[in-house]
C-alpha cells in the first residue's frame, strides 16, 4: 500500500524517538513492499523558535493530507514559566482538535521479563493487560481559562455527545477483549462526573448490555490500579483523569518509556505518540527508551493503515528484543548493562528482519 505519514519530532527526546519509529516504519515498508512517504514538520517549542507559533499552518496542512500523524514530544523548560505567553503544549491541544481525535487509547501490557523493572511486587504484575481510553478533546484542558494576579480559573465542561462517543469506543474495545469495562469519575464532588456517570450507565444499558461494568471514583481507581491491576480490562475516563492514571499505570510496565498511545476520531487518520513527554534532562544523550515510540508506530500501522499483521510483527519484535535481554537505562537492572536509543532500535529492527 501507499501512505503519507507526517512526522512531528517536536522537542526534547522527541526527535530521537521519532527517528527510531521512522526507521522501524521504513523497515516494515521494505519487508512487505509498501510505499511510505514521510513529511517532517514542526510542532511545539521547535516551532515557536522558528515561527513563533506552536502549530504552524504548513504543519496542519501536512497532517490533514496524511494517512497518519506521528508525534515525538512537545515542551520543556525553555518554553515554560509564568511569563511565557505561548506554550508548546498549546500546539498539541490544537492539533488534537484540528484532527478531531477524541479517543486516546493507551495500552498497558506487562512483559514478564520486565517485571523486575517495576517497583511493584511481582505477584501483582504477571498477566496485566489493560487499555485506558481517555477522552481527549473536552474537559478542563480545553475549557475557558482566566488569570490575574490573585485568581486563576479553569473551566471543565462535558457534553452528553462527547461522553457517549468515548464510552462507545471503550465498550467496543471491551467487547473484543474480556468484556469488562471500568468507568472512572469523581461523581461524589463534580457535576461533570455526575453527568459522565449518568450518560455512561444509560449508554451501556442501551447498547452494550452484555458488558460487565464497574464504576470507580478516580481516587479509588488510582489505588486499585496498583493493588489489583490484573482485574482491569478496559478503563474509560475523562481527559485529566486519564492523563494522570496512565502515568501511574506506566509503573506497572517498569517505565514511562514503554507506553504507546493512539489518538483516534471518526476518520482513519490518527495521531500516534509515546506518552513519556519530552524528558529534556536526557535529550541529545541517545539514552531514551524508544519502545513506546516504536509501539506507537505499531498502533499507527494497525489503526490508520489497516496493517494488523505488520503491527503484530512490530510488537512482537519489541517483546523478542526485551526477552533477549535488550534494555535501555530506564528498564535495566542494577547489575545489567543498558543500551543507547540507537542500539535498542537496531536490535528491534534485527528482530523484524
**In whole angstroms, what is the distance from residue 222 CA to residue 182 CA?**
12
Starting at the edge strand that comes first in sequence, how are the strands of the sheet with 2-10 ordered? 35-40, 2-10, 68-73, 271-272, 262-264, 103-109, 129-135, 234-237, 180-185, 212-217
185 catalytically annotated: no
Q: Which of 141, 158, 185, 330 is catalytic?
A: 141
**In whole angstroms, what is the distance from residue 76 CA to residue 267 CA?**
31
Count the neighbouring beta carbons within 10 Å of the beta carbon of residue 250: 20
Q: Which of 11, 185, 233, 243 is catalytic?
A: 243
102 catalytically annotated: no
247 catalytically annotated: yes
112 catalytically annotated: no
Q: Which of 154, 247, 346, 350 is catalytic?
A: 247
Q: Which of 219, 231, 266, 281 is catalytic?
A: 219
Query: Which cell goes with 103?
Result: 479517543
Q: Which of 11, 102, 186, 233 is catalytic?
A: 186
Per the CB < 8 A criterion, the answer to whether 71 and 12 are in contact is no
CA–chain centroid gap for 330, Å, is 18
186 catalytically annotated: yes
Per the CB < 8 A criterion, the answer to whether 66 and 89 are in contact is no
Catalytic residue numbers? 141, 186, 219, 243, 247
Amino acid at each position: 500500500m501507499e501512505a503519507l505519514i507526517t512526522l512531528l519530532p517536536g522537542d526534547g527526546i522527541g526527535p530521537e524517538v521519532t527517528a527510531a519509529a521512522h526507521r522501524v516504519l521504513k523497515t516494515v515498508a521494505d519487508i512487505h513492499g509498501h510505499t511510505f512517504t514521510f513529511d517532517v514538520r514542526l510542532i511545539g517549542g521547535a516551532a515557536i523558535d522558528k515561527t513563533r507559533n506552536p502549530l504552524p499552518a504548513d504543519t496542519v496542512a501536512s497532517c490533514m493530507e496524511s494517512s497518519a500523524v506521528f508525534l515525538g514530544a512537545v515542551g520543556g523548560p525553555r518554553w515554560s514559566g509564568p511569563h511565557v505567553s505561548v506554550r508548546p503544549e498549546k500546539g498539541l491541544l490544537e492539533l488534537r482538535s484540528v484532527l478531531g481525535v477524541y479517543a486516546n487509547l493507551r495500552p498497558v501490557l506487562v512483559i514478564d521479563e520486565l517485571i523486575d523493572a517495576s517497583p511493584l511486587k511481582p505477584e501483582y504484575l504477571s498477566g496485566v493487560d489493560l487499555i485506558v481510553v481517555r477522552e481527549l478533546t473536552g474537559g478542563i484542558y480545553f475549557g475557558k481559562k482566566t488569570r490575574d494576579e490573585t485568581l486563576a480559573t479553569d473551566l471543565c465542561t462535558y457534553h452528553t455527545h462527547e461522553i457517549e462517543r468515548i464510552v462507545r469506543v471503550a465498550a467496543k474495545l471491551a467487547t473484543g477483549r474480556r468484556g469488562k469495562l471500568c468507568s472512572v469519575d469523581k461523581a461524589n464532588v463534580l457535576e461533570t462526573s455526575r453527568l459522565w456517570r449518568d450518560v455512561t450507565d444509560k449508554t451501556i444499558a442501551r447498547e452494550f448490555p452484555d458488558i460487565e461494568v464497574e464504576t470507580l471514583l478516580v481516587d479509588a481507581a488510582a489505588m486499585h490500579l496498583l493493588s489489583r491491576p490484573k482485574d482491569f480490562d478496559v478503563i474509560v475516563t475523562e481527559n485529566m483523569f486519564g492523563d494522570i492514571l496512565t502515568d501511574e499505570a506506566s509503573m506497572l510496565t517498569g517505565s514511562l518509556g514503554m507506553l504507546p498511545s493512539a489518538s483516534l476520531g471518526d476518520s482513519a487518520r490518527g495521531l500516534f505518540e509515546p506518552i513519556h513527554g519530552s524528558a529534556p534532562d536526557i535529550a541529545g544523550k541517545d539514552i531514551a527508551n524508544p519502545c513506546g515510540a516504536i509501539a506507537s508506530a505499531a498502533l499507527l500501522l494497525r489503526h490508520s493503515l489497516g496493517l494488523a499483521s505488520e503491527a503484530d510483527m512490530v510488537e512482537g519484535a519489541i517483546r523478542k528484543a526485551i526477552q533477549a535481554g535488550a534494555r535501555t537505562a530506564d528498564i535495566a537492572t542494577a547489575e545489567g548493562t543498558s543500551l543507547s536509543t540507537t542500539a535498542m532500535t537496531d536490535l528491534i529492527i534485527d528482530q523484524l528482519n
